[in-house]
Amino acid sequence: MEADNLTELSEFLLLGLSDDPELQPVLFGLFLSMYLVTVLRNLLIILAISSDSYLHTPMYFFLSNLSFVDTCFISTTVPKMLVNIQARSKDISYMGCLTQVYFLMMFAGMDTFLLAVMAYDRFVAICHPLQYTVIMNPHLCGLLVLASWFIIFWVSLVHILLMKRLTFSTGTEIPHFFCELAQVLKVARSDTLLNNIVLYVATALLGVFPVAGILFSYSQIVSSLMRMSSTEGKYKAFSTCGSHLCVVSLFNGTGLGVYLSSAVTHSSQSSSMASVMYAMVTPMLNPFIYSLRNKDVKGVLGRLLNRAASCLLWGTTSELRGCYWSIKQM
Q: What pLDDT score does 324 carry? A: 45
Helix (H) or strand (E) holding 92: strand 91-93
**pLDDT single digits (tens) 297-330:** 666 666 766 766 666 555 544 444 545 444 444 5
Region for 88 from its dihedrals, namely left if φ exceeds 0, alpha if ψ lies in -120 to 50, beta otherwise: left
Spell out the alpha helix ranges (H) of 52-93: 58-87
Q: Position 148: which residue type?
A: S
Region for 171 from its dihedrals, namely left if φ exceeds 0, alpha if ψ lies in -120 to 50, beta otherwise: left
**pLDDT single digits (tens) 130-139:** 899 899 999 9
Q: Position 205: which residue type?
A: L
Is the pLDDT higher at 239 or at 99? Answer: 99
Q: 0.75 cut: is pTM over it? A: yes
pLDDT bracket for residue 159 (50, 70, 90): very high
Class of the CATH domain delimited by 2-293: mainly alpha
Boundaries of every domain in the chain = 2-293, 296-330
Region for 16 from its dihedrals, namely left if φ exceeds 0, alpha if ψ lies in -120 to 50, beta otherwise: left
* Orientation angle between helical segments 231-260 and 94-127, nearest 10 degrees: 150
- The whole-angstrom separation of Cα 242 and Cα 238 is 6
Q: Position 209: which residue type?
A: F
Helix (H) or strand (E) holding 152: helix 138-164
For residues 241 and 221, the answer to whether their CB atoms sit within 8 Å is yes
Pairing of strands 91-93, 11-14: antiparallel
- Residues with Cβ within 8 Å of 138's Cβ and at least 6 positions away in sequence, in order, are 58
- The whole-angstrom separation of Cα 234 and Cα 226 is 8
For the CA atoms of 279, 180, 164, 113, what is the dihedral angle to 10 degrees?
40
Q: What pLDDT score does 33 carry? A: 92
- The whole-angstrom separation of Cα 248 and Cα 122 is 14
Q: What pLDDT score does 327 carry? A: 46
Q: Is the pLDDT of residue 6 over 50?
A: no
**200 DSSP 8-state letter:** H
Q: What pLDDT score does 5 carry? A: 43
- Residues with Cβ within 8 Å of 48's Cβ and at least 6 positions away in sequence, in order, are 55, 297, 300, 301, 304
Radius of gyration of the chain (CA): 22
**Residue 142: helix, strand or coil by DSSP?**
helix
Percentage of the residues of the chain whose pLDDT score is greater than 90: 18
Q: How many CB atoms lie within 10 A of CB 322?
A: 12
**pLDDT single digits (tens) 261-307:** 555 555 556 667 777 777 787 788 777 776 655 666 666 666 766 76
Angle at the Cα of 113 (from 296 to 150), degrees rounded to 5?
120
Q: How many CB atoms lie within 10 A of CB 298?
A: 13
Is the pLDDT higher at 204 or at 97? Answer: 97
- Residues with Cβ within 8 Å of 194's Cβ and at least 6 positions away in sequence, in order, are 162
